[in-house]
Copies of this chain bind each other. A is one copy, B any other.
Amino acid sequence: MNSFGKIFRVSIFGESHGNELGIVIDGCPPGIYFTEEDLYLDLTRRKSGIKGTTSRQESDEPKIISGIYEGYTTGAPIAIIFENNNTNSSDYSLFREVPRPGHADFVAMKKWKNFNDHRGGGHFSGRLTLGLVSAGVLAKKIITPMKVAARLLEAGGNSDIKNAIDEAVVENDSIGGIVKCVTTSMPIGLGEPFFDSIESLLSHIVFSVPAIKGIEFGSGFKAAKMTGYEHNDKYISVDGITKTNNSGGVNGGISNGNDLVYRVAIKPTSSIPKRQHTMNMQTSQIVDLDIKGRHDLCVALRIPPIIESVTAIVLADLKMIYQSYKE
């Protein structure tokens, strides 16, 4: 359940307040230069520290423990781990009785019969995305010359994002956002009809990222209001390049050579500083809830490098699968 991919395959493990968390990457070709230094840029982009993100400060120091020899991938699985240092688990014990609205506290207890590690959200923590970002750095190398770039389009409905954050701080409340991801230099032919369509695989892994509520490719939800004549992208070259890109770069589940474009909706963090009401599940009383942990007011700020990473992971796998067809 914690693995994804067919050839280039990732498996994640860990908890927010455990000793270490990490990822295992299987199926990576040998001979790719890959060291801890490669990871710093994207890990920093993912990191908290700017206004609107959690005050929990973690060094996020990656440790590659297998699969690399003298700086290069060997062909064997690559394991990368991160220590959890700045943990404060006392903040969380309450939530076993009084689950946070909008959070996984309640379902984790029910599904796992109270054996779940509830500290810091346990296995449901956004910290698990550290591994995804690490695998993404490697995947980005594999998919060259394809290039993935994601950015935050708006936060709290506001495209002036700095402004939106300032407001959220004043309101003591969290806000959502929209991230757009564009991959350029796409080859034709990645993806499969039906179950392994590009959209299927991308949406699968995108919804693995905590807080995502929606995804749309190309024209997306606007397509529902368009006519075929408007929506059809006209070919302007024998390479399949089209005048418009309502397709988002995908026809019939397969890349068509145009930019791969999609957008995702991110919900506002459920852990908010503002006082709210919830139910004490032991007593069935409605009680006040003041969340004291350290949380993001706008987790969407940290999502772009994660979205890039999961995109690269899917494309690396699809590229390798496509190569398997060619002699």
Chain A residues proximal to chain B, CB less than 8 Å: 1-4, 6-7, 9, 11-15, 18-22, 24, 26-27, 29-31, 63, 65-67, 69, 72-79, 81, 99-104, 106-108, 110-113, 115-117, 119, 122-124, 128, 154, 156-157, 168, 171, 173-178, 188-189, 192-197, 199-201, 203-208, 210, 212-238, 240, 242, 246-248, 251-256, 265-272, 274, 276-279, 281, 284, 300, 320-327
Contact = CB atoms under 8 A, between A and B. Distances in A.
Nearest to A247: B102
Given A208-B253, A320-B325, A30 B106 contact: no
B199 A201 contact: no
Contact of A231 (B11, B81, B268): B268
Given A115-B73, A173-B229, A101 B235 contact: yes
Contacts of A208: 194-195, 197, 200, 253
Nearest to A189: B111
B30 A2 contact: no
B3 A108 contact: no
Nearest to A156: B225
| Copies of this protein in the complex | 4
A102 B15 contact: no
A176 B221 CA distance: 10
B176 A107 contact: no
22 contacts: A1-B192, A2-B196, A13-B65, A13-B67, A18-B65, A30-B325, A69-B116, A69-B119, A74-B116, A76-B116, A77-B123, A108-B193, A173-B229, A195-B208, A200-B208, A203-B206, A207-B253, A224-B300, A226-B267, A228-B268, A234-B279, A237-B284
